[in-house]
Amino acid sequence: MSSIKEILETKLDGGNLEKLMAVGNSYMHAFVADAIELCDPDSVLVCTDSEEDLDTIREMALDGGGEDKLAIEGHTYHFDGYNDQARDPARTKYLVTPEMNLGASLSQVDQKEGVEEVRSILAGSMKGKTMFVAFFCLGPVDSEFSISCVQVTDSPYVVHSESILYRAGYEQFKRIGDSENFFKFMHTEGETENQVSINVDKRRIYMDLSENQVYSTNTQYAGNTVGLKKLALRLAIQKAAQEGWLAEHMFIMGAHGPNKRVSYFAGAFPSACGKTSTSMISGQTIVGDDIAYLRKKEGQVRIANVEQGIFGIIRDVNPTDDPEINKALTVPGEVIFGNVLITDELRPMWLGMGEEMKAGTNHSGKWTAGKKDDAGNEITGSHKNARYTVRISSLDNRDPLADAAEGVPLSGIFYGGRDSDTCVPVEQAFDWTEGIILRGASIESETTAAVLGQEGVRKFDIMSNMAFVSIPLGKYIQNNLDFADGLEKVPSIFSVNYFLKNKEGKYLNTPLDKKVWLLWAELRVNGDVEAIKTPSGYIPLYEDLAKLFKDNLGHEYTQAEYVKQFTIRIPKLLAKVDRIEAIYKEKVADAPAVMYEMFDRQRKRLTDAKDKHGDNISPFDLIAK
Mean pLDDT in the chain? 93
Helix axes 4-11, 14-21, angle to 10 degrees: 140
pLDDT, residue 450, reads: 34
106 band by pLDDT with thresholds 50, 70 and 90: confident
Integer Cα distance of 233 and 292 in angstroms = 9
Overall fold of domain 247-303+405-622: Phosphoenolpyruvate Carboxykinase; domain 3 (3.90.228)
Which residues does 70 contact at the CB level (< 8 Å), separation at least 6? 76, 77, 337, 342, 346, 347, 348
Q: Say which amino acid occupies 444.
A: E
Mean pLDDT of the 289-317 span = 96
d(CA 454, CA 276): 25
The pTM assigned to this predicted structure is: 0.95
Q: What average pLDDT does range 590-608 have in this prediction?
A: 97
The closest of 240, 408, 228 to 308, measured between CA atoms, is 228
Question: Is pLDDT at 177 greater than 70 in this prediction?
Answer: yes
Amino acid, single-letter form, for residue 216: S
Whole-number Cα distances in Å, 166 to 110, 123, 149, 288, 332: 31, 28, 10, 12, 20
- Are 494 and 414 a contacting pair, CB within 8 Å? yes
pLDDT digits over 18-64, tens only? 999 999 999 999 999 999 999 999 999 999 999 999 999 999 999 99
* Rg for the chain, CA atoms, rounded: 25
Average pLDDT over residues 76-100: 85
pLDDT tens-digit map of 329-343: 999 999 999 999 999
In this structure, how many other beta carbons lie within 10 angstroms of the beta carbon of residue 399? Answer: 21
pLDDT at 241: 95
Residues facing 43 on adjacent strands: 130
What does the pLDDT look like over 403-415, one tens digit per residue? 999 999 999 999 9
Indicate where the chain has its CATH 3.40.449.10 domain(s).
Answer: 4-64+88-228
Query: Does the domain at residues 4-64+88-228 carry the CATH identifier 3.40.449.10?
Result: yes
The predicted pLDDT at position 101 comes to 78
Rounded to the nearest 10°, the torsion over CA 176, 178, 182, 185 is: 130
513 φ/ψ angles, rounded to the nearest 5 degrees:
-60, -20
C-alpha–C-alpha distance, residues 329 and 124, integer Å: 38
Adjacent-strand bridge partners of 268 = 415
Outline which parts of the chain fall under CATH 3.90.228.20.
247-303+405-622
Catalytic residues: 273
List pLDDT tens digits, range 516-575.
999 999 999 999 999 999 999 999 999 999 999 999 999 999 999 999 999 999 999 999
Top-ranked range on mean pLDDT: pick from 106-110, 202-206, 218-222, 404-408: 404-408
β-pair partners for 153:
132, 187
Q: Are 253 and 412 in contact (CB under 8 A)?
A: no
Average pLDDT over residues 74-84: 87
Rounded Cα distance, 600 and 616, in Å: 20
The CA distance from 92 to 219, in Å, is 12
pLDDT tens digits, 457-499: 788 999 999 989 999 999 999 999 999 999 999 999 999 999 9
79 closest CA partner among 451, 367, 510: 367
Which of 29-38, 184-193, 528-537, 591-600 shows the lowest per-residue confidence on average (mean pLDDT)?
184-193
pLDDT in tens, 495-520: 999 999 999 999 999 989 999 999 99
Residue 453 has what pLDDT? Answer: 41
DSSP secondary structure letter of residue 516 = H
pLDDT at residue 183, rounded to an integer: 98
Q: Model confidence over 346-389: pLDDT tens digits? A: 999 999 999 999 999 999 999 999 999 888 989 999 998 899 99
